[in-house]
Structure 1
Amino acid sequence: MKELTFPTLIAVLEEMFGRGLFRTMAALAVLITVLYLYVLIRDRAVSWRKFLRAQLSMPFGAVAAVLFVQRMTHSGFGDIGGPIDVIVLLGVAALGAAGTAILVYTLQSLIRRPGA
């Protein structure tokens, strides 16, 4: 593989997670993003109280994402072989943290009335 293309990346992710799980995760990501944009447009402002709560959930999302990927790939911390493995693991943790923050903020805004 000389270059990484988008179709190649999709094929690798489908191979790692399975086609059904990968497509379900992608659909949920799109749905949560649309709901997040809806909440931002509806409220016309960011609630800093909800934002703080969402940020407090980020470490849990980072750990959950790393454990989920390790479970799906049948690997553990002892399988980390070099710097690229650490970089990928940190990237997974960062994406898990950001995704959890967006999810928590969105759920708070949808469950509670605007301005609360």
Structure 2
Amino acid sequence: MLEEIFGRGIFWTMVIAAVVITLAYFYVLFRDRAISARKFLWAQVSMPFGGIAAVLFVLGVTNSGFRDIGGPIDVIVLFAVAVLGAVGCAILVYTVQSLLQRKPV
């Protein structure tokens, strides 16, 4: 179903990116053996931007807009997309910071 919504290319690109980022995140966690509070704070600061970007991306890909929200399930789905985008952005930011800054802070 998601492949039909996003298209084959975008869908599989997102799947591969998610797998690569997740593996890099686990690598960083095992390598550093601790979570850096400073990096975690910046990752949390990035979360609203990731949530907004995810919602705008989904609305853009599906050729929909906020005026097309028809009922409670649409609001729930957009909220879930925002939450997943926020968490994904936090993981990405934390991972990139850790990979660029080798020494744990």
* TM over 0.5, shorter chain: yes
Root-mean-square deviation (CA), in Å? 0.5
Q: Please identify runs of 4+ aligned residues in structure 1 that moved more than 3 A.
A: none
5+ unaligned residues in a row in structure 1: which ranges? Answer: 1-11
Say whether 1:47 aligns with 2:36. Answer: yes
Partners of 1:100 and 1:114 in 2: CA distance: 22
Please name the residue that 1:4 is paired with: none
* Distance in structure 1 (CA, Å) of the matches to 2:103 and 2:58: 35
**Aligned-residue identity in percent:** 68
In 1, the alpha carbon distance for the partners of 2:10 and 2:104 equals: 36
TM-score of the superposition, structure 1-length normalised? Answer: 0.89
Is the aligned partner of 1:29 residue 2:18?
yes
Number of residue pairs matched by the alignment: 105
Partner of 1:77: 66
Structure 1 match to 2:80: 91
TM norm structure 2: 0.98
Partners in 2 of 1:18 and 1:81 — Cα distance?
23
Which of these two proteins has the greater Rg computed from alpha carbons?
A: 1
